[in-house]
Chains A and B, each alone.
Chain A
Amino acid sequence: MLRVHELCKAFREGTKQGRVHAVDKVSFTVEEGAFFTLLGPSGCGKTTTLRCIAGLERPDSGEILVDDRVLFSGSGGVFVQPNQRNIGMVFQSYAIWPHMNVFDNVAFPLRVGGRKVGKAEIRNRVEQALSVVELGHLAGRFATKLSGGQQQRLALARALVIQPSLLLLDEPLSNLDAKLRESLRFELKRLQREQGITTVYVTHDQSEALSMSNSIAVMQEGTISQVGDPFSVYLAPENSFVADFVGSTNFIEGEVVGPAGDEWQVMTGHGVLHVGKIVGVDTGDQCVVSIRPEHIEVLKNGARQGPNVLTGEVRTRLFTGEAMDYQISFEHGELRCRTPAAVRLSSGKPVTVHLPASLCAALRKS
């Protein structure tokens, strides 16, 4: 289990005066055996947070605990050196040592520091770690002769061989091509579950985060915007940043009019829209209504009237294989809408769409 409490880390910026808060009072808890993801755009502080946990950066304040062992405490003056932390880490570049072969790369952690492991046991543990990542047959090969995916698995074996209490992964899939990346997602998830190891994963790729995590923290400018399981982060974003960064969404600007039964009414350029919920705003506040493209319903014959039904014109359509993406223009702005591939609308034709109120949310502008 990992607990991070009010972690702060600032850097001196060369070009600017003063310090920049890369990580600003970040707190979260990762349950034993969970897969936790720090998700955010580059520069949001996710890598700095990870490096603070690893001990490669020294935080300014806050606390870091792994299994109730204090690794860092700003107030208590505790800073455990990174080589004493027993944390496994996979770097973005994999950091495979080019002057060693596969076996020696994995054996290195067992041969250095305070761990005094016998030759036979080193062999056993390295072979086991290699077989877990299915590299057993390549033990004698030089590390630089491996493919990208193999290097990634080698880095993982090296991190796992010390039986760490925590595994840190710093964008381990970002250097691979798209196809390999997808297949390695399953692989990584399977390994993590089989080993039952508590994992912190850093990525800027929202689909990686959604598909692999038990829990996701979306970060923005050094703070956590929202923490939750993949479903709640995707389906119930708490602000417009999360809605926009995780998946794609439509934003319609407006002002909250007030409650209407179970729903709320928002005045927008398209008229009054009904939304299922409001987050962080109240009557009279400026807000954005968020609705995901795949939640917009295309009405066949345009017969229906009622709230949240809009009529516009198909501007562009894109066939993406598994779906159709439409850009639909209305009197006041455009919406993106995604339908199953079978629904074919022609460009320039009028179209009527329905925005289901339960899937619309009025969010604070951020």
Chain B
Amino acid sequence: MVRTEVAPEGVVQQHDAPGQPGRRWGTILTYLLGAAVVGTLAYLVLSPLVYLVWRGITTGDGLSIDNIGNAYSGSGTGKMIFNSVVFAVGSAAVSLVTGSALAFFCVRSNAPLKPLLYAASIVPLIVPGILFTITWVFLLSKDVGVINIALRSMGLAWLQINAFSLPGMIIVDGLHLSPLVFMLMFAALRATDPALEESALMSGASIPQAIRRVTAPLVRPALLGAALIMVVRGLESFETPAVLGIPAGNWVLTSRIYDALHSYPVRYDQAAIYSLTLLVITATGLIFVQRVNRRAERFQTISGKGFRPRPLDLGAWRWPVSIGFGIYFFFVVVLPLAMLVWMSLMPFYQTPSISALGTVTLDNYRRLFGATDGVLVAIKNSAILGVTSATAVMVLMSIAAWLAIKSKLRGRQFVDTLAAFPLAFPGLVMGAALIFIYLRSPLPIYGTLLILFIAYVTRYMPYGMRYASASLMQVSGELEESATMSGATWKDTFRRIVLPLMAPGILAGWLYVFIVSVRELSSSILLYSQDTRVLSVTIWELWENGRAGVLSALGVVMVLTLMALVGLIYKLGGRIGVRDY
């Protein structure tokens, strides 16, 4: 076959014919840039991995596997492994069932109140996990939990769940993760051609049969992928096991890593082994996810033509399903946020009631700006880290995306793999690895903001890459070529076509990385020092010191700020989608 559709050449190559000095410089520059970016990526990604492995397999006497034996021989290890598995699988199950059922009804039914679900899928992106978990303490703790009190007053005491128990942890974490399942399954269901289902109906199948025999197998790979991701997320989860698990002695891998590094005597070897265990599991899980996704591509029914999902008529079930939507929204969004606001207005903790309204005060908000709690320093640190790491990630990843997509360098696929690798690093593992590297390193960055910066940049590279490459894809070859045919030089094309088209996507990516950096807890908790507390760490410390009021006030301010930023992302996201031909 003769090929006419060739990938558009890089702009540099098009403009400088061989033999001209410009071309040679362009090529050399491309190689230098490529080498610099790949080198930085490789260092950021591989150094934690190498140090972690090294730390795990050596003792003072050289190579040895004693660490493994020591780490797993302690009492309670079996229980800890059991808890980890039950917690991860359980919370994955909760999020999968709720998330995918809601996604199905949202995409494929005519039930009203659907817009609530969009809100419910966005808010958990905003509320930091530590805040979400803490609010649930006040909703589900055994004696003072608002929900438990309500259940007791209705004579439904047998329905009570204690937050400080394995089932409590599972439910809280599951609810926090379910919006993620909702988004994943929403996309998968949207991509399924309703004609496939309709042809099943025309072949004589009933609606339940069509769902079972056509729809379900089609979305099964997506469902399997989501299940794996959720189990991995459950294993990585730190906030819930720390807040709800540690006080009751329900240990899991993540809380053990934290404990090994945060209680005297510090057990570095144990932390390294647990971290490696976690890393192996998450990496394996994500490799499986990739496999499943590749298999799912076979089923991809997305054609060039757009189609609308055909809503099923639920008939009498419309309102019951909608009430389900409402209840979900209430538990995931309204209740936690309302609790946060309530606590922030109370001078000391009281169960919500009319009589307590008399004590409403703004003292907690005033205290935020006092010097005693170090809140202002934390805000400053978080802002510095958010801005610098978001900028670094987007600059680095824009170049990496350009190398991976538009350049013709050999080995450019490698850039993609490197940039995606940190997805397998749980935050705690990253934190532990960085401690191992920089505790002994001659570079004096341990205990400075720089080490947090390195952690954030490494962890959020994959997201930056996703935004950068998506916005680079926006600029199709023909858009650049038509500028060239109009007489534009390389500089004109870059300044007037490529840059304006990429900018909204890059900006949205910047905001995303900024937000997740500000929320970050699990790496920061291992890497902060006296002077480098960040917001999430401050919330954690306020919680440990029992200062729920100030904590809630800080939470409210934080959520409102982040909400405004997310609103901005969505607006920019809309701008990115302007090209729909």
Contact = CB atoms under 8 A, between A and B. Distances in A.
Given A91-B478, A93-B476, A98-B501, A112 B487 contact: yes
Interface in A183-227: 221-222
Contact of A162 (B2, B9, B487): B487
Contacts of B2: 20-22, 43-45, 221-222
Given A11-B3, A93-B476, A93-B478, A112 B17 contact: no
A221 B5 CA distance: 14
Interface stretch (B135-143, B492-500, B505-513): B492-500
A82 B479 contact: no
A27 B575 CA distance: 46
Nearest to B479: A95
Contacts of B580: 144
Interface string A48-67: 10000010111000000000
Interface string A295-311: 00000000000000000
Given A98-B501, A151-B581, A108 B488 contact: yes
A15 to B, nearest CB: 10
A13 interface: yes
A191 B364 CA distance: 73
A199 to B, nearest CB: 15
A95 B482 contact: yes
Contacts of A82: 14, 481, 484-485
Interface in A104-121: 108-109, 112-115
A117 to B, nearest CB: 11
A53 to B, nearest CB: 11
A154 B4 CA distance: 26
A15 B565 CA distance: 47
Contacts of A83: 15, 484-489
B202 interface: no
Nearest to A78: B17
Contacts of B579: 98, 144
Given A44-B4, A79-B17, A99-B500, A162 B486 contact: yes
Main SS class of interface, A: loop
Interface residues of B, number: 33
A341 B3 CA distance: 42
B280 to A, nearest CB: 35
13 contacts: A11-B3, A20-B1, A43-B3, A47-B5, A86-B487, A93-B476, A97-B479, A97-B483, A97-B497, A109-B488, A112-B487, A113-B492, A162-B486
A46 B476 CA distance: 21
Interface residues of A, number: 51
Interface in B463-479: 476, 478-479
A22 B3 contact: yes
Interface of A: 11, 13, 20-22, 42-48, 54, 56-58, 77, 79, 81-89, 91-95, 97-99, 108-109, 112-115, 144, 148, 151, 155, 158-159, 162, 175, 221-222
A95 B496 contact: no
A108 B4 contact: no
A79 B476 CA distance: 25
B80 to A, nearest CB: 50
Given A56-B484, A93-B581, A20 B489 contact: no
